[in-house]
Structure 1
């Protein structure tokens, strides 16, 4: 699944002038929204971990891959322009 944050997104104002980047919280919000679309019966109970390893520019496509875990959680990785930009683990409530 993919998402793109438009240049006009309100979170980009001042983050950073002259070279805007998408804030990590916006990336996480998109990850949660995508997971809700593919697993509508499941609810996230927490973000166990999240690591940001790259920059996402406005207008740049970001692919999100999910990997279910045996403990009921879900690992995610976000990839933009062939490079990982974020990864982490989400805790889910039982269905």
Structure 2
């Protein structure tokens, strides 16, 4: 069964002014960081190391949006996650955690 958490991006989010003027979006790197930090906290882990297996951004997330992140265990100790805004998927992905991520960092 998936676990979930809600992440809000304030209307005055610092990335909004420059990404992109007149058409602000929250950058994918910020979405990933927010999702993985929230997942780690909910799982009682420190945020990292993770090894990103995959990530796909399906539609823009705007300042002022709230993103519902759901995740569940995946193969080899990883986590598969999705992010939705107003019920529409905005990103999907998976990460390796634990020893697989540590081995990747060490090599």
**Partner residue in 1 for 2:89:** 84
* Counterparts of residues 1-95 of structure 1 (less than 5 Å): 1-41=5-45, 43-94=48-99
How far did residue 3 of structure 1 move?
0.5
Is the strand fraction higher in 1 or 2? 1
How far did residue 70 of structure 1 move?
3.7
Q: Secondary structure at the match of 1:11?
A: coil
Q: Give the unaligned 5+ runs of structure 1.
A: none
Is the helix fraction higher in 1 or 2? 2
Deviations 1:32-73 (A, max 9, x none): 111121112364431111100111111111100001124100
Q: Secondary structure at the match of 2:64?
A: coil
Q: So what's the TM-score if we normalise by structure 2?
A: 0.80
Q: So what's the TM-score if we normalise by structure 1?
A: 0.89
20-29 vs 42-51, which deviates more?
42-51
Q: Give the number of equivalent residue pairs.
A: 94
C-alpha distance in 1 between matches for 2:22 and 2:52: 31
